[in-house]
Chains A and B, each alone.
Chain A
Amino acid sequence: MQGIQIDLISEERLSSLTSMEKIRLILDDVKQGNIVVLEKGLAPEEASRLIEVTMMEISPDGFSGIEMETYPAKEGGAGLAGLLSRISGKRPGSRLTVIGPANQIRMLRKDKDLISAWVSSR
């Protein structure tokens, strides 16, 4: 059966991994032509490393990089919880993130609550 594999990785699974394990998990999956959906996005430092490692693994006529989209981070929110997070300077966490091979996935549309992607088989 031909098709595209989509791996949805839970927040629990991600939280048990180190930064480098997360990056390896994502890139190994994406390099096989799979689409990865993270329930919770990467921290800025992890995103920075992901770009760096992605660049190091690009090869002619092979892996050409990643396409990635995530929902915008939620603002601090209303009420006491939001006020406390703003006072403490705690940044809102990143949210659901879609990552795929750049030669197979095109992000068509992104809103604050909707990501549309077009995926082609290899």
Chain B
Amino acid sequence: MSFLIKTKKKLSRFLKVFFRKRRARIGIYGPPNAGKTTLANRIVRDWTGDAMGPVSEIPHETRRARRKENITITGMNGNSVDIDIVDTPGVTTKIDYKEFMEYGLEKDEAVKRAREATEGVAEAMHWLREDIDGVIYMLDSTLDPFLQVNIMMVGIIESRKLPVIIVANKIDLPDASPGRIKSAFPQHPVVPISSLEGSNVEQLYEQMADYFG
């Protein structure tokens, strides 16, 4: 009898390991200073009580992709999803260290930041090709969404057939126009939020649970 119980337990463990669904890795992508790390911090704080990384008004504060594992997000409708959140460096096609000097950085520090930022962008693109299962594409809703880098990135995400939610961030600012983002990307769900103030993040959580679950 005990042999049968032991065998059953072993089989059960084997099946759990064998058929366990890997947690989806959700990458937060977007141009520099769109508020990616602010959102990553909010998600991680809301669902685990922890933090993800520092934020700054100087572009490219995040220069390495950071992953926070095992976050369970539950929407208002009760649906939930287990994910890993990957906060990525802002994607761009150009980086000039002199732009960082305009924020008061010394040349050596600006050159170092630029070098790390270029490595970070390359790393973010590599993650997107190899290790990401879904994307939150983050845009500053006070800016023009039709920038080439946004069109290119959404095209790359679509070509990889990854589910994508577009977040129109910074709706707390007077110039915010989330409608412009909706008209730029009508093929994808667009959620307007303020990741800084936390307004409307519940709608994003519900959308994530439905879309990435």
User: Residues of A with Cβ closer than 8 Å to B?
Assistant: 43-45, 47-49, 51-52, 54-56, 58, 60, 64-70, 72-73, 91, 94, 102-103, 107, 110
A105 to B180, CA, bound (A): 26
Q: Which residue of A lies closest to B159 (CB)?
A: A44
B122 & A52 in contact (Cβ 8 Å cutoff): yes
- Specify which of A51, A65, A73 lies most central, judged by the most chain B CB atoms within 10 Å of its CB: A51
- Cβ < 8 Å to A, chain B residues 71-93: 91-93
Q: What residue in chain A is nearest B152 (Cβ atoms)?
A: A47
Binds A, one of B10-18, B43-51, B113-121, B194-202: B113-121
A103 to B125 Cα, complex, angstroms = 23
Task: Return chain B residues, CB-CB under 8 Å to A60.
Answer: 97, 111, 114-115
CA of A2 to CA of B186, assembled, Å: 46
**A47 contacts across to B, CB distance below 8 A:** 152, 155-156
Q: Does B151 contact A (CB under 8 A)?
A: yes
B94 touches A66 (CB 8 A): yes
Q: Is B103 an interface residue (CB 8 A)?
A: no
Identify 9 residue pairs between A and B in the complex whose beta-carbon atoms are under 8 Å apart, listed by A's number: A44-B160, A48-B129, A55-B119, A55-B122, A58-B114, A65-B95, A68-B148, A70-B151, A110-B148
Known: A43-B159, A44-B159. A51 touches B118 (CB 8 A): no
* CB < 8 Å neighbour of B96 from A65, A68, A69: A65
- In contact, B121 and A48 (Cβ under 8 angstroms): no
CA distance A64 to B148 in the complex (A): 17
